[in-house]
Structure 1
Amino acid sequence: MMISSHSSLRTFQPRLLSGLIILALWGGSCWGNAEEVQFNTDVMDLKDSSNIDLGQFSRSGYIMPGEYSMAVQINNVNLPEQNIAFYPAENDPQSSEPCLSPTLVQQLGLKSQAQSNLQWWHQGQCLLLGSLEGMEARGDLATSTLYISIPQAYLEYVSADWEPPSRWDNGIPGILLDYNVNAQVQRQERQAGSQSQDLSGNGVLGVNQGSWRLRANWQSQMVHHTGSELPTEKNWDWERFYAYRAIARLKAQLTVGEQLLSSNLFDSFRFTGVSLATDDRMLPPNLRGYAPEVRGIARTNAKVIISQQGRVLYEALVAAGPFRIQDINSAVSGQLDVRVEEQDGSVQSFSLSTANIPYLTRAGTVRYKLIAGRPSDRQRHIIGPIFTSGEFSWGVSNGWSLYGGGVAGEQYNALASGLGRDLMMFGALAFDVTHSRARPDSENKVLSGNSYRLSYSKRFDDYDSEVAFAGYRFSQQNFMSMSEFVDIRNTGVRSQNSKEMYTVSLTKQFLESGVSAYLNYEHRTYWDRSDNNRYSLSVARYFDFGRFKNLSLSINAYRNRNNNTTDDGAFLSLSLPWGDGGTIGYSSAYTRQNNDQRVSYFGQLKGDDSYQLSSGADRDGLRLSGFYNHYGDSALMNASASYAQGRYTSLGMSLQGGATMTMNGGGLHRVGTLGGARLLLDTDGVAGIPIRGNSLANTRSNRFGKAILADVNSYYRDNASIDLNQLPEKAEAISSVVQATLTEGAIGYRRFDVVAGEKVMAVIRLPEGTTPPFGATVVNQQQRTLGMVGDGGSVYLSGVAFGEEMTVNWGGSAHCTVSLPQNLPDDKMADLLLPCRRLAESKQAH
């Protein structure tokens, strides 16, 4: 059934608009005080000026007593949605006040002195706002948000993206499975068409419960050679079982199970036990250290594997040319092993030390690590005696730090001590000495020796330069690390026996000429074998040439000298922006064995996908290659193909993603750091909602209205937002931004207020033929207001579903229900007539 068409809409719109304007400007046309506002309705152009319900507007900001689900915003910082109770105010029963419970107050980040002055009301369950001068709290039902304003003097230290521990979120219980799988097929023409298939991967299986994270790391590889008598190589390894949790009060992480010793003083080794260590990521950003960085050059489309003590930390396909890997966990320290497997079958291998700034600590604070356990191997066998280890850094005074530590075991002991100094404008310097004493064999011969280390870092702002890390270490021949001690006990062979090590990393910006340069040098000598050296240089410049803008020229070169074998390489590239997001490039790669010239095109596709096509030649003939990168909602996919005339054809593909499941929902998703923190986002059951996080590409909610962002930084304040420019046609975002500060490995949960459905014009009629009063509201079963009744019962409804039942409220209570038909009428331009059944009649009908 319908009534008049466009005429009613034209009549309704100006009357409703004029009414809303008058309500918005009620201060100029009302009498009374702020608690009870009376409206001059005579100025409103209404057919029935007596049938009006403006009770919900009669008191500014008034919220009826009850419990509401609201997001909480503290000084423009968002906290998770939670239930907020509103009670009649003690000094004015006609108004209401929000109840800030003790649980919510703990999340405010108040200083200890401010907490001691707090007062409570409602039987000690609600914070008395007046106990902190200048503090205010206001609820807003339109946005379902509780706004809290607190003077900064009462709050703990905060920065642009860091919050105090009181606001860290341990997330919700859940299960996760992250994976990184690489597959390659190579056909060698020079070996009578022999073919090999290589499938490898690594990942994390995890369970979250409260603040605990249970993790199992796995890695696997299968290699099959067609046309040969070699057996298929298969390997599956549950590489590590462990559990950990953050202890916010101590700014530390407790870990139980299989671990690698991560130390600023002692070499890394594998053990099974327990550790308690200060986590720099829990500190404000200006107090955190550097994360490790790996640079190199891939001669072809290649697979890069970064490992430590046999444990794979990073594995991915990279396109031919220079690569720079910066997303390794910042908690990793010590020596890293890098392996670059080219698609032509060749392999580059080198090791490097992660760059740590000198071990300095802010004055008056202590950083520490406490460990107990037994050395173990990758097969979970105990291979050494019980040991304990501890280290600390104490900020003695402004600029000075004293640090040291020790390892104590049945037949191995080591003691280290050092002093660090912040030289202000001259950088930071640290010096330490480590003494070891070991009995590695049955002869009970004692080996003792010292190792000396000097390290330095400096940022030269006046010259746009930085010495990111510089160090020198000398170890006497009888000095022995714990890992060497374990090796000798079990194999009789000493693995390292290092003598000297020099390492330096330099960066320089030449702003006037647009040139940036990076230099890394590492030199190692040993007591029982030849020296190792690695040089790496990168120079890049951006410039304009005539009508061509933003050209890029870069030169990358390296030299690896290991066991009297020298591996040299250089890569020169020139790129020119072309078209909409495209780039034309020329490159030349040089090695001792070959020289490769290529022309390439890099292009962008819809959805932030990208591809690269190249063709060229080397000493042996034609070379063709392609590389494709796809940011899928369920996984990140890379695909590559290479052809070398008369030599080989190679195809490769990698998938990196995960599955996360909780009681609040879950799904498949891309993943950055395997096993890391992630954010489960709820879009109220609406599918296809585009969400922005830290990733280059948006993620869309799945068919169940869930999306998972797995690129969340632990202990940083992260934002996730709905991309309003790409919303589906029938969806609206009431709230489009959420924030979270998650502990490591947490599964955070946040909800967007999203409405999806039809938009219709309707007229509501009561059984006796009258209409609800002007200002009555139409709400759905989720108590979301879908529209407000105008003159003559006209109402504009948005976000509704056909067949849905809604309630019409006025006078502070629900009076009747309306139901939408299952389909739109044939005349879509006409207003729907919606009979409103009294609540008693509605119950009988059901």
Structure 2
Amino acid sequence: MIKLSPISLLLLFTPYVYANALYLQAIENHNGNIDFSLLLNENFLEGTYNITIYINNNKKQNAEISFKNKNNNLTPIITLFDLKQWGINTNYYEPLKNKLDNDIVDYDLLKKLFNIKLEINKQSIYFKVPLIAIEKNTSYSKEKLDDGDNAAFIKYNYQGHYYKQNSLNGQHIHNLQLYNGINLFAWRYRQDLNYNNNNSFSINQQYVYRTLRNINSILTMGDFYAYSPNLNTYKILGVQINSDNAMKDGSLVGYAPIISETAYTYAEVSIEQNGETLYSTSVPPGPFTLNNLPSLGTNGELVLIIKEENGEVRKKKIWNYSSQYLLRKNQWNYYYTMGLVNNPQKRQFPSNKKKELLTQLNLSYGVSNYLTTMIGAEKKGDDIKALIGNTLGLNILGIVSLENAWIREKYHQQYQSNKINYQKVFSMENTTISLNSSFYFRFKENYAVNKEYKKYDLGFHFSQSLNNNIALTLGYNIATYYHSKEKSQRLFINTSSNYKKLSYSLELENSKDQYSNNNQLSIFLNYPIGQDLSHWATARINYDNREKYFHENISFSGNTLENNRLNYNLNFSKNNKEHLDSSMKISYLSRIAKLNINSRFNKDSYSLGYGLNGGIVFHNGGVTLAQDLNDSFAILNFAGAKKVKIIGKPTIESDRRGYLIIPNLTSYHNNKFHIDAKSLDYNYNIDNYSYHLIPTKGAIIAKNIKVTKGESALFTFNQNIPFGATAYVKNSDGTLSDISYVNEDNKLYISNLPILGKIFVKWGSSNKQQCSFNYQLNDNEKQNRIYFKTVNCIKEE
């Protein structure tokens, strides 16, 4: 008989494991000091992750996003400035108009305004934004592209771990990952290194690349992983040239239909879906074509509305698809690869060859609004693969893809393989149903019988939002294989909700394969400690029917210090075998790096972990340290001004020499940033607080910000000085300051002043229309960083 603790009677929890890079990052966030049950449900891990932002299903950029637990979901912390950075016109939305850039936008409001979709297991966030709410200047013109400056960088990640079990000797494990880069004009060199406690370095990748703007392509050469759609990915020593959709005009990225119609008068043309206007424009009389629509990011029926000048309204149904396989009409993508690849030396057919020559070609072309065709060819050593495929939009019926492959393997002779994939999404109010199925047909079955070949797989997903904030999710997946009567399948149902501050969820799951038939059950509770939602208490338990295994867990986590720089997690767990375990993790984000430390204890062992990660940049101004670095970033020079900050990035600031690193820029887009005026010392002044950077892929852009230092003063004249008279300071080196103007109240405000000097005032060309005065600023004249002084301006003789 199984004993249940009081926690068990309240809770039951079990996870479903996703094996992907997100959880590797989660382990890094928690520095290995985390009960692995925490990794088994995507809802429960707090921390900062590198997330891909999609606007209308188009990739916008990668961003470091912090997540917190709220209402039983791992919810992103997104500010108003983040939305602006991603090209969203926030003034279009009434609830956002009065918010400041640094204000956090509530997640429930994000879901309401943008129908936000969070796929944390894929490290992606999807926004749906009407085209009229997208900033028009987020795309780029090739003339404004910046290849950046010559510079080099090192991105490092060090992790150490000490583990001791009972009376055995303790074990130290060290690992250092280095991602190095050098930029020289338009060329980029990248190197991925790894060093471990065996005192050995290994090079994972080492290559150079550059953009080819005239043909919207990228050229890559060296030792790297070469990706080609619908073909295999290999690590090669060679060269690849491929198209890069991100280089296209922003309005041409992603799929959108091309619409041709006729207007009889000057007309207003709009596109609507479910009563919401997605796009609008005006056209003159005559035939017109909408061939530069941005990707609408929606599946299903759209309505084209033409409102003529005489009041006549015409409507026409058109269909749009959200699919990575469909291209716009007359658009094409290509990948060409050639190089040497390691021969795996299959066990049953040993080979003495160390390298094989690989050649790949893949080409896709948009034949029409509804049809995209694809061809591909691959030759690796003696193995050959050729394929042809078509993706067809079927209006209300969804999307079907057909692929035929002819394969000749040296030892398995040759065979054909046909694949049919069908996708359909039904979207209704608060309800989404998706169906995805693939069928595989193989002929001349003389291929390896000891290898599993899939026959078909089917996926069904249903989600429904009910009253009282209740969410219901149901899913089913099944796959079958040739040469096997076994099936692998998974059925799950999940419901989640919240009561006041308490959030909770329940999940049931059944999974079957040829080795097991397992039932699992889970319940999760999460409650905030305090009013600021910075600290949380979480309780969970796992139950596995096959193993008759319970695992109970209580944890306390949160963020503290300025800008939530310190993150902590305390974890206590127990299973039905009376195994007790406790752990602690603390991480601190400084201006120049992220430091973490963790520990874990139980009756059999204990461990201690520690880590440090960040970046080092070598540039014309010297060496600058950074919290993090991505492939494209910016170096800002504030001419010695310390602790200057950027709005929306409160944890980074300029160093003692005035340098600041913006760690992430989106290639081929306007990257806007705004300097936080409150972070400047009172005697520093900046003429322009807003800037735009448009980098090419991998660019490192150095930007000098014009900063002047001096005092600010408001002078009141005893004489009447004409409104609009100009004033300037003659500096000790003979140069003149920027011009200031006398206002209508006979006062002059001027900044960047030395403590003492002489100011010249001029309102005409004659001596009688000029005057000057000497001044000295005294502390007793200073109020709120501004000096107030009454002066006599003496006319020139």
Compute the TM-score of the two structures, normalised by the length of structure 1. Answer: 0.58
Query: d(CA) in 2 for partners of 1:537 and 1:254?
Result: 45
Q: CA deviation at 1:473?
A: 4.2
Quote the residue 1:35 is aligned against.
none
Secondary structure of the 1:425 match is helix
AA at the equivalent of 1:580: D
Q: Is it true that 1:653 corresponds to 2:610 in the alignment? A: yes
C-alpha distance after superposition, 1:54-75 (max 9, x if no partner):
xxxxxxxxxxxxxxxxxxxxxx
- Larger mean CA deviation between 811-820 and 175-184 belongs to 811-820
Whether contact under 8 Å (1:602, 1:613) holds in the other structure is no
Secondary structure of the 1:785 match is coil
Query: d(CA) in 1 for partners of 2:653 and 2:664?
Result: 15
1:744 to 1:736, Cα distance in 2 relative to 1, 3 A:
same
Quote the residue 2:563 is aligned against.
607
1:589 to 1:698, Cα distance in 2 relative to 1, 3 A:
same
Secondary structure of the 1:671 match is coil
Query: d(CA) in 1 for partners of 2:629 and 2:507?
Result: 27
Q: How does 1:390-405 map to 2 (within 5 A)?
A: 390-405=361-376
Q: Is it true that 1:251 corresponds to 2:216 in the alignment? A: yes
1:266 to 1:792, Cα distance in 2 relative to 1, 3 A:
closer
Query: d(CA) in 1 for partners of 2:646 and 2:416?
Result: 55
Q: Is it true that 1:423 corresponds to 2:402 in the alignment? A: no
Q: 2:698 aligns with which of 745, 748, 760?
A: 745
Q: CA deviation at 1:277?
A: 1.2
C-alpha distance after superposition, 1:470-491 (max 9, x if no partner):
54445568688xxx9xxxxxxx
Alpha-carbon RMSD across the aligned residues, in angstroms, is 4.7
Query: d(CA) in 1 for partners of 2:627 and 2:444?
Result: 49
Quote the residue 1:171 is aligned against.
148
Quote the residue 2:553 is aligned against.
597
AA at the equivalent of 2:138: D
Q: How does 1:594-743 map to 2 (within 5 A)?
A: 594-609=550-565, 610-619=567-576, 620-644=578-602, 646-663=603-620, 667-671=624-628, 673=630, 676-693=631-648, 697-743=650-696
Quote the residue 1:371 is aligned against.
337
Query: d(CA) in 2 for partners of 1:386 and 1:361?
Result: 31
Secondary structure of the 1:360 match is coil
Q: CA deviation at 1:272?
A: 1.4
Secondary structure of the 2:200 match is strand
Quote the residue 1:180 is aligned against.
157
Query: d(CA) in 2 for partners of 1:476 and 1:175?
Result: 53
1:533 to 1:649, Cα distance in 2 relative to 1, 3 A:
farther
Quote the residue 1:785 is aligned against.
738
Whether contact under 8 Å (1:420, 1:428) holds in the other structure is yes
Quote the residue 2:356 is aligned against.
385
Q: CA deviation at 1:256?
A: 0.9
Query: d(CA) in 1 for partners of 2:428 and 2:139?
Result: 28
Q: CA deviation at 1:826?
A: 7.7
Q: CA deviation at 1:434?
A: 1.4
What is the identity percentage for the equivalent residue pairs of Structure 1 and Structure 2? Answer: 18
1:799 to 1:827, Cα distance in 2 relative to 1, 3 A:
closer
Q: 2:527 aligns with which of 576, 583, 601?
A: 576
1:565 to 1:537, Cα distance in 2 relative to 1, 3 A:
closer
Q: Is it true that 1:264 corresponds to 2:219 in the alignment? A: no
Secondary structure of the 2:246 match is helix
1:397 to 1:763, Cα distance in 2 relative to 1, 3 A:
closer
- Larger mean CA deviation between 683-692 and 662-671 belongs to 662-671
- Larger mean CA deviation between 808-817 and 452-461 belongs to 808-817
- Larger mean CA deviation between 792-801 and 162-171 belongs to 792-801
Whether contact under 8 Å (1:731, 1:756) holds in the other structure is yes
AA at the equivalent of 1:364: N
Whether contact under 8 Å (1:757, 1:798) holds in the other structure is yes
Q: CA deviation at 1:371?
A: 1.1
Q: CA deviation at 1:365?
A: 0.9
Q: 1:588 aligns with which of 520, 525, 541?
A: 541
Query: d(CA) in 1 for partners of 2:435 and 2:710?
Result: 55
Secondary structure of the 1:397 match is coil
Whether contact under 8 Å (1:183, 1:198) holds in the other structure is yes
Whether contact under 8 Å (2:496, 2:506) holds in the other structure is no
1:172 to 1:777, Cα distance in 2 relative to 1, 3 A:
same
Secondary structure of the 1:713 match is coil
Q: CA deviation at 1:686?
A: 1.2
Quote the residue 1:360 is aligned against.
326
1:706 to 1:516, Cα distance in 2 relative to 1, 3 A:
farther
Secondary structure of the 1:197 match is strand
Q: Is it true that 1:465 corresponds to 2:432 in the alignment? A: yes
Whether contact under 8 Å (2:508, 2:521) holds in the other structure is yes
C-alpha distance after superposition, 1:245-276 (max 9, x if no partner):
12233222211112223122112221111111
Q: How does 1:276-355 map to 2 (within 5 A)?
A: 276-283=241-248, 284=250, 287-288=253-254
Query: d(CA) in 2 for partners of 1:744 and 1:692?
Result: 24
Secondary structure of the 1:249 match is helix
1:454 to 1:827, Cα distance in 2 relative to 1, 3 A:
same
Q: CA deviation at 1:385?
A: 3.0
Quote the residue 2:76 is aligned against.
none
Q: CA deviation at 1:739?
A: 2.2
Whether contact under 8 Å (1:666, 1:706) holds in the other structure is no
1:158 to 1:605, Cα distance in 2 relative to 1, 3 A:
closer
Look at both structures and tell me which one has the larger radius of gyration over its CA atoms.
1
AA at the equivalent of 1:633: R
1:158 to 1:512, Cα distance in 2 relative to 1, 3 A:
same
Q: How does 1:497-512 map to 2 (within 5 A)?
A: 498-500=453-455, 502=457, 504=459, 506=461, 508-510=463-465, 512=467
Q: CA deviation at 1:159?
A: 4.6
Quote the residue 2:170 is aligned against.
195
Query: d(CA) in 1 for partners of 2:359 and 2:334?
Result: 14
Secondary structure of the 1:735 match is coil
AA at the equivalent of 1:686: A
Query: d(CA) in 1 for partners of 2:355 and 2:142?
Result: 38
1:167 to 1:572, Cα distance in 2 relative to 1, 3 A:
farther
Query: d(CA) in 2 for partners of 1:794 and 1:718?
Result: 39
C-alpha distance after superposition, 1:257-307 (max 9, x if no partner):
122231221122211111111223335488449xxxxxxxxxxxxxxxxxx
Query: d(CA) in 2 for partners of 1:779 and 1:517?
Result: 72
Query: d(CA) in 2 for partners of 1:505 and 1:739?
Result: 44
Whether contact under 8 Å (1:692, 1:723) holds in the other structure is yes
Gapped regions of structure 1 (runs ≥ 5)? 1-156, 223-232, 290-355, 441-445, 485-493, 839-846
Q: 1:448 aligns with which of 389, 414, 421?
A: 414
AA at the equivalent of 1:399: Y
Q: CA deviation at 1:799?
A: 3.8
Q: CA deviation at 1:539?
A: 4.2
Query: d(CA) in 1 for partners of 2:390 and 2:516?
Result: 38
Q: CA deviation at 1:597?
A: 2.7
- Larger mean CA deviation between 532-541 and 751-760 belongs to 532-541
AA at the equivalent of 2:150: P
Q: CA deviation at 1:552?
A: 2.4
Quote the residue 1:841 is aligned against.
none
Query: d(CA) in 1 for partners of 2:171 and 2:641?
Result: 46
AA at the equivalent of 1:243: V
